[in-house]
Amino acid sequence: MDWSTVAISALISAIISTGFGLAVVSQSTVLQMRAQAREEAVRELSAVARDLQRQLLRHQDSDSPKGLRSEETMAMDDLSDAHRVIAASSGLGRRRQRQAMLLA
């Protein structure tokens, strides 16, 4: 066995291990970014839900400046609230986006 064979073997091994390492690092980075996006979307949805709960409590306390509201009619606030929920759920996975869309 001569030195050129050992050097070529070491070079090939280094190239393969570097490529494998880069693939693992990039995949873990992508997974981490997706997890952060989902976490941010959950925070936004929680904030929207808290705001909607406060509005509901004010409405139940008859503190609404528009007076009592009929359950059969839709108001523009309903559409804007639904849009806020759908926009906040954009960072979630497809299944959870669909659930948010159904709830909105």
31 and 75 both lie in a single domain? no
DSSP, residue by residue, 8-64? HHHHHHHHHHHHHHHHHHHHHHHHHHHHHHHHHHHHHHHHHHHHHHHHHHHHHTT--
| Same domain? 63 vs 84 | no
What is the distance between the alpha carbons of residues 56 and 32, in angstroms, rounded to a whole number?
Answer: 36
Which pLDDT value is given to residue 58? 67
Q: Determine the pLDDT at residue 80.
A: 76
pTM here is: 0.53
* Residues 98 and 56 placed together within one structural domain of the fold: no
Q: Using one digit for the tens of pLDDT, what is the confidence trace for 76-104?
A: 667 777 778 778 787 778 888 888 777 76
Query: Does the pLDDT at position 69 exceed 70?
Result: no
Work out the pLDDT band at 3, boundaries 50, 70, 90: confident
Number of folded domains that form the chain: 2
Which domain, by its residues, includes 28?
1-67
What confidence tens digit (pLDDT) does each residue in 28-65 have? 999 999 888 888 888 888 888 888 777 776 666 565 56
* Res. 66 pLDDT band, cuts 50 70 90: low
The verdict on 9 and 56 lying in the same domain is yes
